[in-house]
Amino acid sequence: MLNKEIHLSSKIFENHNEKALRDGFGEGLMELGEENKDVVVLCADLKESTRCHWFADKFPERFFEIGVAEQNMATIAAGLGVAGKIPFISSYAVFSPGRNWEQIRTTIAYNDSNVKIAGHHAGISTGADGATHQATEDIATMRAMANMKVIVPFDYEEAKKATIAAAKIWGPVYIRLAREKTPEITTSKTRFVPGKSYILWESNPSTSSGRRKPQAVIIGAGPLLYNALLAAKELEKEKIGVVVLNSHTIKPLDENKIVELAKKYRAIVTVEEHTIIGGLGSAVAEVLAKHAPTAMEFVGIQDVFGQSGEPKELISKYGMGTKDIENAVKKVLKRKR
Segment 18-67, tens digit of pLDDT? 999 999 999 999 999 999 999 999 999 999 999 999 999 999 999 999 99
What does the angle CA 30 – CA 34 – CA 40 come to, to the nearest 5 degrees? 65
What's the rounded Cα separation, in Å, for the pair 285 and 270?
9
DSSP annotation of 337:
-
Residue 207 has pLDDT above 80, yes or no: no
DSSP states along 114-159: --EEEEESBSGGGGGG-GGG-B-SHHHHHHTSTT-EEE---SHHHH
Quick check: 66 and 72 in contact, CB under 8 A? yes
Give pLDDT tens digits for 287-318.
999 999 999 999 999 999 999 999 999 999 99
Beta-sheet strands, E only, within the chain: 18-20, 39-43, 63-65, 86-92, 116-120, 149-151, 173-176, 181-183, 198-202, 216-220, 242-246, 249-251, 267-275, 295-301
**Position 127 confidence tier, pLDDT thresholds 50, 70, 90:** confident
In the chain, where does the domain assigned CATH 3.40.50.970 lie?
A: 18-183
Where does the chain hold its CATH 3.40.50.920 domain(s)? 195-336
CB 113 within 8 A of CB 102: no
Radius of gyration, alpha carbons of the chain: 20
The CATH architecture assigned to 18-183 reads 3-Layer(aba) Sandwich (3.40)
Return phi, psi of residue 178, to 5°.
-80, 165
Distances (CA, A) of 162 to 72, 135, 183, 188: 25, 20, 17, 12
Q: Which residues are catalytic?
A: 70
Hey, is 240 helix, strand or coil? coil
For residues 27 and 128, the model is more confident at: 27
Q: Computed from CA positions of residues 280, 284, 286, 287, in that sequence, does the dihedral angle turn out positive or negative?
A: positive
Assign 183 to helix, strand or coil. strand
Could you tell me which of 45, 18, 42 has the C-alpha nearest to residue 29?
42
Neighbours of 153 (CB within 10 A): 30
Is residue 208 predicted with pLDDT exceeding 50?
A: no
Query: pTM to 2 decimals?
Result: 0.95
Q: Is the model's pLDDT at 212 over the cut of 60? A: no
CATH 3.40.50.920 at 195-336, yes or no: yes
